[in-house]
Structure 1
Amino acid sequence: MPGRSEVAALPSSAALRAFLLDGVVPVGLSDMLRAFDRPIRDKARLKSILHDMALSGDLLDLPAGRLKTSIGLPETARARITHIRNDGTPCGILADAQAATPVVITTRAPDLPYPLPGDMVLVRLRPACGARRREARAERLLVRTEEALAFSRALGADGAPLDQLWACNPHIAGTFPLAAPEQHALPEPGEVVMATLRQMPDGTLAADSPIPYGRAAAAGMASQLSLLTHAIPTSFSAEAEQEGQHVAELAAAGHDQPAPANRCDLRSLPLITLDDETAQDFDDAIWAEATDTGFHLVIAIADVSHYVPCGSALDVEARTRGTSIYLPDRTVPMLPPSLSANACSLRPGQDRLCLFADIQITHEGQILGSTIGRGIMRSAARLTYRDAQAALDGKALPATHPVHALPTTLLPTLMAASHALDKDATKRGAMRLDEDAWAITFHPDGQPAAFLPRERLATHDLVASFMIAANTLAARIAHENRLVVPFRVHPAPTAMLPRPAARYSAVPGRHYGLGLPLYIHFTSPIRRYADLVAHRAISAWCASRAGPDKTAPAVACAPPRTQDYALASHLNFTERRAGKSVQDCQNRLTAAFLVPQIGQNVNIHATTTTRHGLCVRLTKTGTPSLLPWSAFPDYARMNDDSPYSGLAARYTPLIQNGALLMAVLLATCPARGVSVLASPTHAS
């Protein structure tokens, strides 16, 4: 019997792929060899073929579990890049994972020199180490995003314009030529164009078909570029707008009507809202009275879940956004204005459906009794933080001010109850986080006029203490009744991560910063999707407690039965995206504001050191920047190119965090929000 050919008889990659796609039963190497009538000695060669197929992406579409894990192939997956970190590291999610597992691409593929948000990449995953986030190396680019990007004329180290473009997204490194310079002229410095990146025959990328978009320093352009950079939706679908208008009509028709049978009537309580001067979405109202043992608190929260059913056009839009975004000169709401500023907003004198936390506390802030119920309320007044603080300080307010229609003891009682809650927070070791927030004022023409540190008033802390109390109660109820909600967790600092950020989690965990075993977001359902999800679950719990003798209508959206890991991952992404868009907008406004000071000395505060340079904050605007090590005097021969320079490279200037320094402002780029700094001795 003639021997088998060792080369020709092994199946091709195409034949193997067809065989694997044709079945669902798990198979191993022996199973495949039998199917193709090959001897057992071909195991190693077959595994080599499968290994190459895995790294080329040919095995991505196989049915789940089709290949036995005992084969030991590299774990590959499709990853969609969602954002680029400040250090240029691409981050995204596993596109085919039901839980939308987050992934960090630590090593780039040779054909991915410039990763962009929206790119689809084949990645090789590192072994999972318990954390939900995975690390991976990129193998190759699968699909390049076709979304248009904003570009402007690139600047050199001295601030002079170059014959190249750079993306207005400051986290996309590198410059790009025009794809057809004979057809399109370079934009003037300060002009913004929209273009797509096209791969040239030599493999490089170039900006194709630029379309003028406007001047980077024009009024409103800073926020517009920040929204474009992070692909944040700014308009609602026609279906969502239509649903929002219908909700507004329902809310208007329900005004001054008898309270529904399944809701507690709170309209006799003088509940008040406390917000900033520019706020339009009032989603919480508070009231308190003194008792013999302490205080009785009622915190009413707009019942958005009643009007936004799960799976509706409104719900899809809200989930996509994840949160409202408050830029210095505009607001991008999570819900259409017909809801966020009207039907769901707790406007004074208007009847609104709500969920309310009813809490009894002692003078030391300890909880005596608490529950959450469904109600209907009517705000007695809309106060600003500043006006409420003025009233508490005994300052005169205009006779027509709504504070005069309130009980004279209400504001002092609210403040006293807040002090009691603060006592309990101190006992449990809650951290007082000083917010480094700045307020930007504008000239009538829309240009930035001044950057001022945001004033922190006692009334800010008053509202915060009430909201923490309500959120803590909601977390306890959700946990005790096994409601599926996104929990808010905050890990304790470690040597590797000294300042961990709070995040959403599908499973409960401790909130280190607040010193609480459990915590959720519950008090802002108009502007945060996490709160809306919590409202749905707790509203269903309230309805289940109504009993057979009371009417309990079906809940708008039944809570899911399993932990929603994908939702927690998405909420963390949208929260980070919102924060980055706000910071990027402030950086762009700073770059425009500082143009008159180019060439002059500016004060900076050191914040931290990196291998690239000193991270600083501009004292005048509070915005971050980077002073590269090359900008410092070379006392340690750090920038020496001699053979002995490596010995000096380990030495960096000893600069204490918070130190006040001086630098020269060489240039600014409002399109990217970049301010180029140098030390006075290196500026010439």
Structure 2
Amino acid sequence: MPGRSEVAALPSSAALRAFLLDGTAPVGLTDILRAFERPIRDKARLKAILHDMALSGALLDLPASRLKAAIGLPETARVRVTHLRMDGTPCGVLADDPAATPVALTTRAPDLPCPIPGDMVLARLRPACGTHRREARAEHLLVRVAEKQAFSRAIDPTGTPMERLWACNPQIAGTFALATPEHHSLPEPGAVVMGTLCTMPDGTLAVHNPVAHGRADTPGMASQLSLLTHAAPTVFSDAAEQEGQRVADCTAAMQGQPAPADRQDLRALPLITLDDETAQDFDDAIWAEPTDAGFHLLIAIADVSHAVPAGSALDREARLRGTSIYLPDRTVPMLPPSLSANACSLLPGQDRLCLFADIQITHEGEVLAGTIKRGIMRSAARLTYHDAQAMLDGTLLPPTHPAHALPATLLQTLSAAASALEKAATKRAPMRLDEDAWAITFHPDGQPAAFVPRERLATHDMVASFMIAANTLAASLAHEHHLPILYRVHAAPTTAQPRPAARYCATAGRHNGLGLPLYTHFTSPIRRYADLVAHRAISAWCVGNTTATVACAPPDMQDRTLASHLNFTERRAARSAQDSQNRLAAAFLRPDIGQNVNIHVTTTTRHGLCVRLTKTGTPSLLPWSAFPDYARMNDDSLHGSIADRYTPPVQNGALLMADLLATCPARGVCVLASSTHA
């Protein structure tokens, strides 16, 4: 009888992965061998297989502590690259770590291209050393955001063009030479080229094959560069466009028809939308009436989950984008315009499917009862924040304005209900963060005309109060009924992290910013994928479909990959908007070069003063080297530390004056020098 092949009988990597994903209890080598009926002498070969699986990324999504630490496998993790240091070292964060531990990719596997901001790499981590940045080796490139990057002619601290290039992406530090200067010449100052960062034989990075892409100061280029440098998707697939058009056709055919049997008809209620003047994606509408105990609120939200089924082409595109991106002169929607500005938008006078929060509150804003239901609604009017504020202030609007068709007391009731909600919020002691929002106007030729601080009206706070109430209710219902949603969590400030950012998490957690034990995003499914995930779960629960409730959860919900991705796309959208504003400010401030500008100090760092230009609200850096007598060459004193000698006594919040030496619209940089310290 021939002997059995012991090598062939070992479980495959796929079989091992399936076994490890099928449980949560910690297992060791012996446990695995016993499960596959293998002898104990196969330990060494099994460990070798697991070692290779760890380095390939096959073990990344295992439940926490599934494999016992005694096995001694290399620690691997997904790393999202956030920036490149001056020396070319890629740095990032652990993509699946809620604490976002910082990582420096000090080495990388042979033939692995240099990771750039936005890339996802599989990294082998060195042992942790306290709370400092961890070092790692980049093993595999998991996601490449873009092969080509935008570059422009670099300028030195005096504003003089250099014989080198710098990336238009401000997260890539340093300057770069041309890889083949014999075949390509440097672009003219202000011109933009597209090229690839490559590693030269001496280990330095250089720009390969630059191709002209236009000038940085042409209309629309600021937003285009912001989208390019952050590799944000801007074009929808043909399949998604076709699906969107089919949904739009079905929505048009629904107009005036009887309400579906499983939905409550709200079309007789005067629900209204309040948004900015330029908004097109109206995803929430509100209504309120007084009661003996306080107020009855309805917050209706467009039912995007009905229009975008899980796994569809529309769903894949929405997940990829994660959120809409709002730039000063354009919007990149999460869903095609056929949905975002039409079939899903709560346009006035149009029948729309919705989910709605039905809430009863007291005069003190305490919730007496609340639930979420499925409905069909028809917006009675589309108001802007300024329209609503004018009406509340007693200002007469034109006779033809749609607000005149509303019940006379509706806005006053909404305002009173919002005031009640604000009373309850005040008791929670939420964090009050200053918002630096600016509006940019443009000349007819597309050039920036003015930067104006965005006005915060009482109607902004009124709508925000209603949205917070609906989001809180959605989080509570989801947690109570174990629905698969993403929670919005916000850590408490610490000395090391005085202003932590809110983030998405697959497990429930406290939102310290709002002072709430549970919170989620539910009220903006047209522009945020996390809200769409919540809608699918809650909509299925509304009709008692528990099977659909579980099925609607994305397959990567439990391993936090989805939360990590959406946290990344949220940051990408915010940075794209800020970078676009910075580039427009650099073009707008060009006539001020050589003159004094006012700056507001926000933070003092070891590199210099982080400041904001008061004329545009854009951030900049005033390095210590920009201060006159930086080296104290005229100071014969030997007293004082290096920090005392190099750091002028400037307090955070101070208003100073600086010399504007140069601007770079391609990178969004303003070069400053001190004119007030000597």
| Same fold (TM > 0.5) | yes
| Structure 2 residue identity aligned to 1:432 | R
Corresponding residue number in structure 1 for 2:136:
138
Shift of 1:442: 0.6
Corresponding residue number in structure 2 for 1:394:
394
Please list the CA deviations of residues 132-185 of structure 1 after superposition, one character each: whole Å capped at 9, or x if unmatched.
xx9642335755967011011111221111121111111111222222223222
CA contact (8 A) 1:346 1:378 kept: yes
The DSSP-based 3-state class of the residue aligned with 1:596 is: helix
Corresponding residue number in structure 2 for 1:672:
667
User: Which of residues 106, 109, 114 is equivalent to 1:108?
Assistant: 106
Corresponding residue number in structure 1 for 2:358:
358
Please list the CA deviations of residues 594-632 of structure 1 after superposition, one character each: whole Å capped at 9, or x if unmatched.
100011100000101111111001010111100111222
CA contact (8 A) 1:309 1:557 kept: no
Please list the CA deviations of residues 261-301 of structure 1 after superposition, one character each: whole Å capped at 9, or x if unmatched.
00000000000000000000000000111112211111100
CA contact (8 A) 1:265 1:375 kept: yes
Corresponding residue number in structure 2 for 1:649:
643
CA contact (8 A) 1:543 1:553 kept: no
- C-alpha change, 1:399 and 1:19, in structure 2 (3 Å) is closer
CA contact (8 A) 1:608 1:614 kept: yes
Count of residue pairs the alignment pairs up: 636
Percent of paired sites with the same residue:
68
Shift of 1:63: 6.8
| Structure 2 residue identity aligned to 1:196 | T
- Give matches, 1:408-419, under 5 Å: 408-419=408-419
Corresponding residue number in structure 2 for 1:611:
606
Partner Cα distance (2:321, 2:412) in 1: 38
Shift of 1:491: 1.4
Corresponding residue number in structure 2 for 1:5:
none
The DSSP-based 3-state class of the residue aligned with 1:672 is: coil
Is 1:558 the counterpart of 2:552? The answer is yes
| Structure 2 residue identity aligned to 1:91 | G
Corresponding residue number in structure 1 for 2:656:
661
The DSSP-based 3-state class of the residue aligned with 1:649 is: helix
- C-alpha change, 1:639 and 1:177, in structure 2 (3 Å) is farther
Partner Cα distance (2:129, 2:424) in 1: 38
Shift of 1:665: 0.5
CA contact (8 A) 1:89 1:106 kept: yes
- Give matches, 1:494-509, under 5 Å: 494-509=494-509
Partner Cα distance (2:478, 2:67) in 1: 40
Corresponding residue number in structure 2 for 1:83:
82
Corresponding residue number in structure 2 for 1:588:
583
The DSSP-based 3-state class of the residue aligned with 2:178 is: coil
- C-alpha change, 1:268 and 1:159, in structure 2 (3 Å) is same
Partner Cα distance (1:268, 1:503) in 2: 38
- C-alpha change, 1:638 and 1:311, in structure 2 (3 Å) is farther
Partner Cα distance (1:232, 1:22) in 2: 34
CA contact (8 A) 1:602 1:618 kept: yes
Shift of 1:83: 2.8
- C-alpha change, 1:283 and 1:129, in structure 2 (3 Å) is farther
Partner Cα distance (2:316, 2:338) in 1: 16
CA contact (8 A) 2:81 2:120 kept: no
Partner Cα distance (1:628, 1:660) in 2: 16
Corresponding residue number in structure 2 for 1:186:
186
- C-alpha change, 1:204 and 1:586, in structure 2 (3 Å) is same
- C-alpha change, 1:378 and 1:632, in structure 2 (3 Å) is same
Shift of 1:656: 1.9
Partner Cα distance (1:412, 1:86) in 2: 54
Q: For the aligned residues, what is the CA RMSD?
A: 3.7
CA contact (8 A) 2:648 2:677 kept: no
The TM-score, its normalising length taken from structure 1, stands at 0.85
Please list the CA deviations of residues 299-326 of structure 1 after superposition, one character each: whole Å capped at 9, or x if unmatched.
1000000111111111111111111110
- Give matches, 1:284-295, under 5 Å: 284-295=284-295
CA contact (8 A) 2:13 2:53 kept: no
Corresponding residue number in structure 2 for 1:11:
none
Shift of 1:215: 0.6
Please list the CA deviations of residues 178-209 of structure 1 after superposition, one character each: whole Å capped at 9, or x if unmatched.
22223222111000011112333333332222
CA contact (8 A) 1:20 1:62 kept: no
The DSSP-based 3-state class of the residue aligned with 1:394 is: coil
The DSSP-based 3-state class of the residue aligned with 1:109 is: strand
Shift of 1:653: 2.6
Partner Cα distance (1:71, 1:264) in 2: 57
Shift of 1:640: 9.9
Corresponding residue number in structure 2 for 1:251:
251
- C-alpha change, 1:183 and 1:259, in structure 2 (3 Å) is same
Is 1:627 the counterpart of 2:627? The answer is no
Corresponding residue number in structure 1 for 2:529:
529
Corresponding residue number in structure 1 for 2:22:
none
CA contact (8 A) 1:614 1:629 kept: yes
Instruction: Flag structure 2 segments of 5+ consecutive residues without an equivalent.
Output: 1-6, 20-27
Shift of 1:61: 3.5
Corresponding residue number in structure 1 for 2:435:
435
Partner Cα distance (2:628, 2:420) in 1: 53
The TM-score, its normalising length taken from structure 2, stands at 0.86
| Structure 1 residue identity aligned to 2:82 | H
- C-alpha change, 1:323 and 1:61, in structure 2 (3 Å) is closer
- Give matches, 1:6-405, under 5 Å: 60-61=55-56, 69-70=69-70, 72=72, 74-76=74-76, 79=78, 81-84=80-83, 90-91=91-92, 104-106=102-104, 108-109=106-107, 115-117=115-117, 123-126=123-126, 136-139=134-137, 147-405=147-405
CA contact (8 A) 2:55 2:74 kept: no
Between 1:57-66 and 1:518-527, the stretch displaced more is 57-66
CA contact (8 A) 2:105 2:138 kept: no
Partner Cα distance (1:553, 1:306) in 2: 17
- C-alpha change, 1:485 and 1:19, in structure 2 (3 Å) is closer
Corresponding residue number in structure 1 for 2:24:
none
Please list the CA deviations of residues 534-571 of structure 1 after superposition, one character each: whole Å capped at 9, or x if unmatched.
111111110108xxxxxx99779633696351111111
Corresponding residue number in structure 2 for 1:520:
520
Shift of 1:121: 5.3
The DSSP-based 3-state class of the residue aligned with 1:386 is: helix
Partner Cα distance (2:639, 2:147) in 1: 44
| Structure 1 residue identity aligned to 2:571 | R
- C-alpha change, 1:367 and 1:677, in structure 2 (3 Å) is same
The DSSP-based 3-state class of the residue aligned with 1:60 is: helix
CA contact (8 A) 2:658 2:676 kept: no
CA contact (8 A) 1:307 1:556 kept: no
Corresponding residue number in structure 2 for 1:12:
none
The DSSP-based 3-state class of the residue aligned with 1:444 is: coil
